[in-house]
Structure 1
C-alpha cells in the first residue's frame, strides 16, 4: 500500500516542483537525522490515499487531499516536538535568576546550546519532508504559508558538518569584534577589543592621529595571514552551499528567503536614493564641521568624509561634547536623568510604564504573574558597558530579562522590548510555522515606532519627566539633528554592508577585488573614503559588517526595521491624529500615539496575523502601501531638511561628492601574509 502511495505521490509531484536537496529521498527516511531529545512522539507514517475516498477539486488538484493530509501529519508531529522544546526553554529561563541557585546566562549556555541543536535538527528534518509537497496544490492558504516557510532553510539547512563549520566561522568573525587585538597609541601593555575598547576611545578622543591609529591597527591585525578576508570567503561558500540545497541558482535568494520578493535589493536601494537628498545635506554640513574642528590635519577631497571620522561622528550622535556643531549650541536639550531617578526610581517601574503604553492602546495587559514569574533581572556579573534586555518566546508565555540600569536610553529601549513581548503573546496563539514575524525586521519595525514615540517631548511630559509637552524651536531642531546623525547616517551603511555581501555571494564581486569593491560602494552611497590609500592586501569592512553576517540578525533586518519603522510610525500618528500635516502644533516628530485605540487596532492586526500573510499584505493594512518608502523618514525629518538646505546655501557649501575611492589593487601597501 505504501509503495502504491509513493508511486502516486511522485508521479503527481514531479511536474509541479523544482527538485532541491531536501526533496531527493522518500520522506520516511528523513527523520533519522533527528536527535532523540527532539522527538516528542514517533514520526507519522505517510498518508495513503484511499481508492474509495471522495475526490475534492479533482479537475485542478486531483491529489490535494493527499498532500494536505501528509503536510498536516508532519506539522502536527513537529508541533508536538516543538512544544517539548519550548517547555525546556521555559525551564531554562525560570532558572535565570540572581537568587537561590545563582543561575545566569553564562552557566546556562550549555543547556541553551543543547536546546538550539534539537531545534535545528527538528526544522531540518521537517524541511526535508515538506519540500516534497507541491505547495501550490494546497488549498488552505494558512497551510500553504506554513509549508512554504518551513520547507526551505538558510544555514539551518546545511548538514551537520557544514553547519558546524558555518557556525565556527561566524564565531571567529565575532571574535574580531570582542577579542583584545589593538594596542592603544604608545602603550601595548593592555590591549583592547574593538567593542567596547576602541569604540569608547574613538567616541572620546579629539586626536586625529589616535583615531587613525585605531582604524588602521584593527584592520592590520585582520589583514595578517589574510585573517579577515579568508574567514569571510569561507563563510560565503557556506551561504552558497545553503542556497544550492534550496535549489536557488542565485545565492541571494536564500539570503532574502523570508522576504519572498523578487529584486528585493533593488527596492532597498530605491529607498536609499529616496532619502539621499536629506543624507547629502546632512553629509555636507558635517563635512564643514569636521574641517573646522580638525583643520588642515584632516585630508579630505572632493566632498568625501574619511571613514574613521564618519565612524566617530555616528558614535557621538548623543555625546555632550561632539566634534560637530549642533544647530543651536546655546540651546541644549533638557536632561531628564534626575527626574527619571525621582519619578521612576527602579527599572521595574520603567518596565511597567512601558507596558502601560501598550495597554493604553488596547493591547495585552501585563499581569502581576508576569512580573513575578517571567521578568528577571540581569545579574551584576553580566552587566557590561551596554547591557541589553532580552525577550524570550515559549508560548503561551513570553518573558523578559531586563538591565538594572536606570537611564533615559533604557527607558526607550524598554518600549521596544515591550513591543516584542506583546508580539510574542499574540503570535504564540498561531500554529507552529506561522507563529513568527512575516519577514525579518517586521517585528523590530513595530518596536521602533514605540521607541520613537517614547522619546518625544509629548510622551516625556506625560511621564512627568519634562515639564512641557514640546521643546523650543531651537531645542527641537537640535533633537532632530542628533536623531538624524543616529538614523540618517546609518541607513546607507546598512545597505552597503548588505549589498556588498549579496554581490559577493552572487558572484558580481570577485575574490580578487573585494576591498576596492567595498570602497566603491562606500563612495557611491555614503560619500565615505578610507583615511589612507588601500589595496587588496587588506579587507576593510567595519565591525558592524561582521555583526550583520548572521542570517538571524542581518544588516537587511536593521535596514528594513528603520525604514518600515518610520512608515508604521507615520501611519500610527495619522490614525491617532497626533500628526496633522501642516499643523505646527502636531508635527510628526512630536507624535505620541499613547492612548489611541485606533493605532492599537492597526498594531494588533499585524501582530495577531504573525506570518499567516505576506508582509506586504500586513503592511498595507497599516500604511495603505505595499512597497517600502522613505516617505516616513522624510516627513519626520522635514524641518531638519529645510534647515540644512538653508544653512548649506548660506555658507556656500555644495552637496554631493565625486571623490577617488582611495583604493587600487596595484597600490603598494605592506603585505601581511
Structure 2
C-alpha cells in the first residue's frame, strides 16, 4: 500500500494541480456566499438562531479550507507554472491556525479556541460582590480618568481574566504546530511568517529594518509624553515619581487598556499655545448632515478620483444606524457578500468628525474589494495583510482642511501654525501604535517556534514591550500571569503584523498619490480629492489583488518594491522639530 501511495504521488501533474484548484474554487465559492449572508445576518441581528447558523457556516468554511490546504501540500514537489504555484502556496498558507489531521486533536484544538474566546468574551473585573465591570466599561474609564490608583486597579483587574488561558494557549501551540507540519512548515511561526512573498526567516529582519527608520521619531514622542505625564502625576504616597524620567512609562497611564495608542491623553501632552483646529463634528451637525449624507460625501470622494459609483444595493442593504429593538455589532466593517458587487458597510454612525473619517476608511475597503473581483478566488484579497487596512487609512489621510473647505464643511483653512496640534493628535494614535503593532507577533513567533516555555511567556512579553515601546508593567508580573491573553487578537489567533504594516504603508501610499496628483501642499496638508490621475494609479494597484507578490503591487503605485518608513518623517516633519525643541533639556531613552 505504501509503495502504491508513493507511486500515485509521483504521477501528479500540472494538470492535476489546475484541476484541483478549480475544484477548490468551485466548492469554496458555493459555500462562501451563504456563509457571508449568515455572518451578515448575525452581525446585524444578534440572536440565538442567527448565531447558530453563523457558527455552522463558519465551521464548514474553516474545515473546507483546512482540508484543501492539506491536499495542496501534495503538490509541493510537482512541476507547475508560476501562477499555479502561487495559488497553491496561498491556499497552504491561508489558515492562521492549521488543524491536525487527527480528528480528536482537531476537535481539541477547536475546543481550546472556543474556550479561550469564551473566557475573553465573558471576562469582567469585580470590585466587590455587587460591582462587576466589563472591558468596555473599564476601557471608557481608562480613556478619561486621571486617578492613577483607579487606573492601576482596572489595569490589573482586566489581566486577572487571562490567567487561566496560559496552559490552554501552550496546548494550542503544540496542536497547531502539528497541523502546520502537515502543511510542510516547521511550525506555526513559519506558517505566519511565510505569507509575505519572501523567505520566512527574512521577514522579521525586514520589519526591524522598517522599525529602525521610524524609531528615532517614536523615541522623541515617547520622551515628550513621559515628561508631561511625570509633571502631571507628580509623586506617589512614598515621595517617588509616579512616572520616573529615566525608565519606561507605566502602562496604565497612557489612556488605553493596552497602551497601544495614546490619543486619549492629548489633553495632558498638548502644546501650551491655543490651536485653531477645524471642528468637523460641529460643521457636520450645523449643516444637518445625517448618516446617509456623510456616506454619500465619502462616495463622492472616490467618484472624484474616477471610481464608479457604488451599486444601488449598497444603499439598500448596508446598515448605517443601530436598528431599534435588536442587538447588532456596531464595530465598523466593510463587506462584499458575493465577492462581486454586493458591497455593504456595517456601522452605527454617529454625526462626528471621527465617524466621517471612519466612513471614508470603510469605503476604501469596498472599492478595493470591487477592484479585484474579477480575479480567481485565491487572488481576491490584500496584496499583503497590511494593504487592505492601509488603503482605508490612506484615504482618511486626505481628509485635510483643504478637502473640508472644498466640500463646504469649513470656510477657512487654518494657517500652518496650527498644524502641530493636529500632527500630535495623529502621532499619538498612529506613531505610538507602531512598536506595539510590531511586538505582538514578535512575541507569538517566538512562542510558536518553541523558543520559550510557558513559564517564560509573560517575562518575554514584558521584555519586548520595554524594548520596543519603552512601556513597563506598573506592578511586578509573575510567571503565572498571562498578560498577552488580555488582548483580543492573542486568544482569537488573529495575526497582528497587518496593523504594523498598514501604519507604515498608508504614509508611503499617501506620498505617492500626492506626487501623482501634483500637490504643492506639505504632505500632511495634501488631499488627493479630485485627482483622477491619483485615482487611476490607485485602482491599477487595487485591481492586482494578491495575484502578484506584494512588491509588484507596491511598485505599481510607488515606483519601488520596498516598504519605506521615511515618508513618516516627511509627514510629521513640523512635529519632529517641535518635539526636539520640547526635549532639548530632557533625558530621553529608557
TM-score (norm 2): 0.90
- CA apart distance, 1:333: 2.7
Is 1:420 the equivalent of 2:404?
no
Is 1:569 the equivalent of 2:569?
no
Residue 499 (structure 1) aligned to one of 421, 428, 442: 442
- CA apart distance, 1:427: 1.9
Is 1:247 the equivalent of 2:184?
yes
Partner of 1:643: 578
Report if aligned partners of 1:268, 1:628 keep a CA contact under 8 Å in 2: no
- CA apart distance, 1:623: 1.7
- Measure, in 1, the Cα distance between the counterparts of 2:499 and 2:523: 22
Report if aligned partners of 1:284, 1:303 keep a CA contact under 8 Å in 2: no
Deviation per residue, 1:421-464 (Å, 9 max, x gap):
1121122211121122232222111111012222x212222232
Residue 87 (structure 2) aligned to one of 146, 151, 163: 146
CA distance 1:427–1:377, shift in 2 (3 Å): farther
- CA apart distance, 1:557: 1.1
Is 1:267 the equivalent of 2:206?
yes
The alignment partner of 1:609 has SS state of coil
Unaligned runs of 5+ in 1: 14-66, 581-585, 658-673
Report if aligned partners of 2:313, 2:343 keep a CA contact under 8 Å in 1: no
Is 1:112 the equivalent of 2:54?
yes
Report if aligned partners of 1:177, 1:193 keep a CA contact under 8 Å in 2: no
Is 1:439 the equivalent of 2:384?
yes
- The equivalences for 1:66-145 within 5 A come to 67-89=13-35, 91-92=37-38, 103-104=45-46, 107-134=49-76, 137-139=79-81, 141-145=82-86
Residue 398 (structure 1) aligned to one of 342, 354, 363: 342
- Measure, in 1, the Cα distance between the counterparts of 2:78 and 2:578: 53
- The equivalences for 1:652-671 within 5 A come to 652-657=585-590
Residue 361 (structure 1) aligned to one of 305, 316, 319: 305
* Number of equivalent positions: 578
CA distance 1:122–1:513, shift in 2 (3 Å): closer
Partner of 1:541: 484
Unaligned runs of 5+ in 2: 237-241
CA distance 1:435–1:380, shift in 2 (3 Å): same
Residue 140 (structure 2) aligned to one of 176, 191, 200: 200
- Measure, in 2, the Cα distance between the counterparts of 1:93 and 1:248: 31
CA distance 1:567–1:170, shift in 2 (3 Å): farther
- Measure, in 1, the Cα distance between the counterparts of 2:551 and 2:506: 14
Partner of 1:587: 522
Partner of 2:9: 10
Report if aligned partners of 2:227, 2:245 keep a CA contact under 8 Å in 1: no
Report if aligned partners of 1:437, 1:611 keep a CA contact under 8 Å in 2: yes
- Measure, in 2, the Cα distance between the counterparts of 1:557 and 1:499: 13
Partner of 1:18: none
- The equivalences for 1:36-47 within 5 A come to none
- Measure, in 2, the Cα distance between the counterparts of 1:384 and 1:409: 20
Partner of 1:58: none
CA distance 1:505–1:315, shift in 2 (3 Å): closer
Q: Identify the range of structure 1 (529-538 vs 496-505) with the bigger mean alpha-carbon deviation.
A: 529-538
The alignment partner of 2:275 has SS state of coil
The alignment partner of 2:268 has SS state of coil
CA distance 1:413–1:106, shift in 2 (3 Å): farther
- Measure, in 1, the Cα distance between the counterparts of 2:54 and 2:368: 22
Q: Identify the range of structure 1 (492-501 vs 266-275) with the bigger mean alpha-carbon deviation.
A: 266-275
- Measure, in 2, the Cα distance between the counterparts of 1:556 and 1:163: 26
Report if aligned partners of 2:311, 2:343 keep a CA contact under 8 Å in 1: no
Report if aligned partners of 2:484, 2:490 keep a CA contact under 8 Å in 1: no
Partner of 1:214: 154
CA distance 1:485–1:280, shift in 2 (3 Å): same
Report if aligned partners of 1:290, 1:323 keep a CA contact under 8 Å in 2: no
Q: Identify the range of structure 1 (483-492 vs 167-176) with the bigger mean alpha-carbon deviation.
A: 167-176
Partner of 1:350: 294
- Measure, in 2, the Cα distance between the counterparts of 1:459 and 1:107: 45
- Measure, in 2, the Cα distance between the counterparts of 1:525 and 1:341: 41
Report if aligned partners of 1:97, 1:376 keep a CA contact under 8 Å in 2: no
- Measure, in 2, the Cα distance between the counterparts of 1:331 and 1:653: 24
Report if aligned partners of 1:317, 1:483 keep a CA contact under 8 Å in 2: no
CA distance 1:409–1:164, shift in 2 (3 Å): farther
Report if aligned partners of 1:357, 1:594 keep a CA contact under 8 Å in 2: yes
- CA apart distance, 1:281: 0.8
- Measure, in 1, the Cα distance between the counterparts of 2:329 and 2:153: 23
- Measure, in 2, the Cα distance between the counterparts of 1:202 and 1:486: 15
The alignment partner of 1:191 has SS state of strand
Is 1:278 the equivalent of 2:224?
no
- Measure, in 1, the Cα distance between the counterparts of 2:535 and 2:432: 30
Deviation per residue, 1:21-60 (Å, 9 max, x gap):
xxxxxxxxxxxxxxxxxxxxxxxxxxxxxxxxxxxxxxxx
CA distance 1:106–1:439, shift in 2 (3 Å): farther
- Measure, in 1, the Cα distance between the counterparts of 2:182 and 2:335: 32
Residue 305 (structure 1) aligned to one of 249, 266, 269: 249
Higher relative contact order (CA 8 A, sep 6+): 2
Is 1:295 the equivalent of 2:230?
no
TM-score (norm 1): 0.79
Greater C-alpha Rg: 1
CA distance 1:157–1:360, shift in 2 (3 Å): farther
Is 1:615 the equivalent of 2:550?
yes
- CA apart distance, 1:499: 0.6
CA distance 1:481–1:368, shift in 2 (3 Å): same
- Measure, in 2, the Cα distance between the counterparts of 1:415 and 1:204: 27
- Measure, in 1, the Cα distance between the counterparts of 2:100 and 2:458: 28
